[in-house]
Chain A
Amino acid sequence: MKMPPVDNAILQNRPALIRQIKAILPDECVIVDEAALRAYETDALTAYRQRPMLVALPETTAQVADVLKLCSRLKIKVVPRGAGTSLSGGALPLADGIVLGLGKFNKILDVDFDNRCVVAQSGVTNLAISEAVNHRGFYYAPDPSSQIVCTIGGNVSANSGGVHCLKYGLTTNNIMGIEMVTMTGEILRIGGKYLDPAGYDLLGIITGSEGLLGVITEVTVRIIQQAQTARAMLLGFPSNEAAGECVAGIISSGIIPAGVEMMDEFAIKASEDYCHAGYPVDCPALVIVELDGQEGEVTELIGQVREIAENCQVVSIQVSETEAERQRIWAGRKAAFPALGDISPDYYCMDGVIPRRKLPQVLTRIREMSDQYGLRVANVFHAGDGNLHPLILFDASNPGELQKVEEFGADILRLCVEVGGVLTGEHGVGVEKRDLMHTMFDEQDLQQQQRLKCVFDPDGGLNPGKVFPTLRRCAELGKLHVHKGNIPFPDIPRF
């Protein structure tokens, strides 16, 4: 993976930089020791590693601003980092850059039940927010599987989703405000404890911007009440086609389940061997449907889903009667990743999205590619929203195998785009999918996006080398290229 060229002059000035950063931050907030730096050299996409010059762990927004001002002045690149659970290399350090970690921004500042929101520093974990409001029946809806460790600031940067996002929305639909520091050190407060901030949708553009527009220091999130009850159904099908048909049937009947997950044969077997959740291992495809709401309503919906499933050749149905049973049904799905980790030295998790109706076609193609590449693939699928997670199994200690995996992964993502889908549903572009952006966007599309980057970070010092395949200067992007205008458009109707 090609990263922006390393500036040796900056590398050589490392001792001076350390001194200057230590003038802003207490000593214990600056990591320079080689061994300690190792913990920061990668995120959850461990195939890529790079040790940064240093890691700064500021404790206040003012310190963040001072560090950024300094780096801006010295033209030092900055990589923001939350918990480092990015699966696309979004938090991958740069050799001549610093990592700015938000680990010390770990306080919940305000739990405001009356306005139904929580204000948290950006390093607070996703789960901690729900835990802070749980005693009154509230929670923060987006629930990435990494929620125990990933930070709310990271969630905003990645626009993270979770199993419940079909019904309850992604991060972007659940946040109300942020405090953010731009690369030039300007502190911005956008939105707050109210809906619809004035002007253009700044929150909308910052959410999902992968740390390229600013360092988020504080987030105001919306909290909602938990449903009265939730029950899960485990449905086994004779084919992926039948399973896909069932999911389409549920949704077109007007039911929006709290979660709809699908697993293929390989994933089912691996998970069952690993955690014995009682999954029917002879089924080629499984669907988990969670329904929530009022008790009577959920019972009614379960009846409807059962009927739809029966019309789609369902061969096995389990319905949770207790909370423990619901948890068991989910346990198998949640174990899918660790289970595959158990049977293979390494796995690589892809994140494409497809129109759901293309599922059988895509799974067949993936199987064919799997044969061609000689690499095994298991598929788990957020079936409600078409977000496919093929897991490619491999052994990184075999020379050349990682490269083969990357090619296979890229082929899968190209396939997703080809059938009308997109490159990434929730893991982000990062470095991983950066060079595939052209499969979705042409040069003009990308340039307009890069102009937005220029609005926030005109010198491009924040997280460069991520998302965009080509780095461009803002001055060049700003130039107005005048296309010839042919007057007087004889063929355009007037009114």
Chain B
Amino acid sequence: MSERFLPETEQQALELVRWAVAGNKTIAIQGENTKQGFGLLAETDCMVSMRNLAGIVEYHPEELVMQALPGTPVEEIKQELNKHDQRLEFEPLNLGRMYQTGGEGTIGGVFSGNLAGPRRFKAGSARDHILGIKAINGRGETCKSGGKVIKNVSGYDMSKLIAGSWGTLSVITEVTFKVLPAPAASATLAVQGLSTEQGLKLLATVLSTPCETSGLAYLPAPALAAIEPGEEPVPQDTGSPPGKGDSGGSQGERDGKLLFPDESMTLIRLEGTELSVNERIQTLRKLLPGDRKNSILNQADTTLLWSKIRDVAPLHDVHRTPAILKISTPPTAVPGLTRFLDQSGGCTWYLDAAGSWLWVGVCQAATADKLNSIKREVSISGGNATLYRAPDAVKKNTGIYSFPDSSIKNLNEKIKNSFDPGNIFNPDRLYSL
């Protein structure tokens, strides 16, 4: 039974790491442990949870900057931002449902995982919003980088490396990040029944207009069907998108309308002032294929729908799709990849981030062979696949990442070594050394 520590100060965390370095002990670093499903969790000599090193240190809404301790719950950060009509623009994916751990976890976890959401293609991911970091490396030394202002090129941008390192490089003891205003209104334009090619073409068309969009997704019917019942948003045929606080159509309007038809949905999210959202919806509607039904989702339904897309709801069911791959791909490679998935069978998939992300759930027969064949296909088409969920044995066989070549893998190992020469932090979580 490994010992579990809850440091409450940076100094305590530093002492712990120094003790581990001196005794060559391995440490599992966590926040609220909501993302334990990512990567391989090795047996370690001790566990350190950062959840007691918590709290917002500084927040200046007019500077667009917040500084927080790593254990601060994401929920608390969102609430505080909400008070000032601001938000985390990168819309971090909540992995609590995928890993059946419930919560959204801590801000340290969000940055460690470089999480993002549907706005990725426009606003970037956590790494694009991190401004500065304080951390303890695997030598038992503090190392900070970046600053507390939103523009900075003083020294290497080490914070970006730590974002997405899943606790394998250092223990984060403080993080500073950029926040942005939350727009007053949002709406979704939903188009039914397009094929994958047609859906992608529509997304590309939308992106070649000046109508700024903040969500572009394509969900085939099986992915829609896999979203747990009772929670689907209701597309509405008429009307303009209501503004903030409007809870949308009444129950009566919902009745009689298909929650989701047995057809694919191509989804276009718009955010901004109410006037601007309306203007863009009117412009975009003119571009839609005339023979397909389209509808508009109001703000409340938009929020709900995109939280499902963000949190990978179509693949939640661990019995139906025990393995989940996130494929980052050039959008033009998507038709080939989805054809491959459909032909080989057993996969549920959908597209997010304007066709740059292909989320794939692999069914019961999620063998390593199957996953490896998908990964091969992805690397041929010039993208990469990250294994988000799978039984441990499968993870061990296929690996979490698909590195394009050995030199990139080598660089990753050398970077790990430069921070953590004894391989004491989350050993083997991302790849075995």
Contacts and interface: CB of A to CB of B under 8 A. Distances in A.
Interface of A: 112-116, 136-138, 158-159, 161, 165-166, 169-170, 172-173, 186, 188-190, 192-202, 204-205, 207-209, 225-228, 248-249, 251-252, 254-256, 293-297, 300-301, 353-357, 382, 385-387, 420-429, 433, 437, 440-441, 444-449, 451-456, 467, 478, 480-487, 489, 491-495
A112 B204 CA distance: 12
Contact of B279 (A137, A204, A294, A493): A294
A173 B151 CA distance: 12
A204 B158 CA distance: 8
A1 B292 CA distance: 68
A355 B131 CA distance: 13
Contacts, number: 314
Interface of B: 3-8, 12, 15-16, 18-23, 49, 52, 60-65, 84-85, 114, 116, 120-121, 124-125, 127-128, 137, 139-145, 147-158, 160-161, 163-165, 169, 180-184, 204, 207-212, 272-273, 275-276, 279-280, 283, 328-332, 353-354, 356-357, 382-384, 386, 401-405, 407-409, 411-412, 414-416, 418-419, 421-422, 430
Contact of A489 (B5, B144, B150, B208): B5
25 contacts: A114-B331, A138-B208, A172-B160, A194-B329, A195-B328, A199-B403, A200-B169, A202-B412, A205-B161, A209-B156, A225-B210, A255-B181, A256-B181, A294-B280, A296-B279, A297-B275, A301-B273, A357-B62, A445-B145, A452-B161, A483-B140, A489-B5, A492-B5, A492-B15, A494-B3
B402 to A, nearest CB: 6
A103 B80 CA distance: 50
Mostly helix, strand, loop or mixed at chain A's interface?
A: loop
B153 A428 contact: yes
Contacts of B328: 194-197
A132 B166 CA distance: 39
A166 B272 CA distance: 17
Contacts of B19: 485-487, 489
A194 B382 contact: yes
B22 A387 contact: no
A381 to B, nearest CB: 12
Most-contacted residue by chain A among B15, B114, B140, B154 (CB, 10 A): B154
B163 A195 contact: no
Contacts of A158: 153
Given A198-B402, A489-B16, A492-B6, A251 B125 contact: no
Nearest to B5: A492
Nearest to A201: B160
B409 to A, nearest CB: 7
A455 B418 contact: yes
A425 to B, nearest CB: 4
A172 B18 CA distance: 34
A198 B166 CA distance: 13
B154 A437 contact: yes
Contact of A198 (B61, B382, B408): B408
A485 B147 contact: no
Contact of A354 (B149, B211, B275): B149
Most-contacted residue by chain A among B20, B180, B272, B330 (CB, 10 A): B330
A483 B280 CA distance: 60
Given A424-B152, A448-B137, A493 B125 contact: no
Nearest to B355: A115
B370 to A, nearest CB: 20
Nearest to A174: B124
Contacts of A113: 204, 208
The 8 closest A-B pairs by CB, nearest first: A204-B160, A485-B19, A297-B276, A485-B22, A254-B181, A198-B401, A448-B143, A193-B330
Given A451-B418, A489-B12, A420 B384 contact: no
A199 B151 contact: no
Contacts of A444: 141-143
Contact of B149 (A173, A386, A451): A386
Contacts of A114: 204, 331-332
A440 B22 CA distance: 29
A141 to B, nearest CB: 11
Nearest to A293: B276
Contacts of A426: 151, 153
A252 B84 CA distance: 8
Contact of B124 (A112, A161, A173): A173
Given A196-B125, A444-B141, A483 B272 contact: no
Contacts of B273: 297, 300-301
A188 B403 CA distance: 12
A441 to B, nearest CB: 6
B158 A448 contact: yes
Nearest to A299: B275
B51 to A, nearest CB: 8
Given A198-B404, A425-B149, A482-B140, 9 more contacts: A194-B356, A204-B163, A208-B156, A226-B210, A227-B210, A487-B23, A492-B5, A495-B4, A495-B49
A194 B63 contact: no
A249 B422 CA distance: 50
A386 B150 contact: yes
Contact of B21 (A248, A437, A445, A483): A483
B408 A452 contact: no
A216 to B, nearest CB: 15
A145 B404 CA distance: 36
A483 B22 contact: yes
A169 B124 contact: yes
A161 B210 CA distance: 22
A213 B164 CA distance: 21
A493 B157 contact: no
A293 B272 contact: yes
A208 B157 contact: yes
Contacts of B64: 251
A354 B148 CA distance: 9
B412 A200 contact: yes
Nearest to A491: B12
Contact of B62 (A136, A251, A385): A251
Given A198-B386, A201-B161, A208 B210 contact: no
A134 to B, nearest CB: 13
A463 to B, nearest CB: 13
Contacts of B128: 169, 172-173
Most-contacted residue by chain B among A137, A194, A295, A386 (CB, 10 A): A194
Nearest to A170: B151
A228 B283 CA distance: 12
Contacts of A161: 151
B322 to A, nearest CB: 22
Nearest to B404: A189
Contacts of A116: 204, 207, 331, 354
Contacts of A197: 328, 384, 404, 408
Contacts of B154: 422-424, 429, 433, 437, 440
Nearest to A436: B154
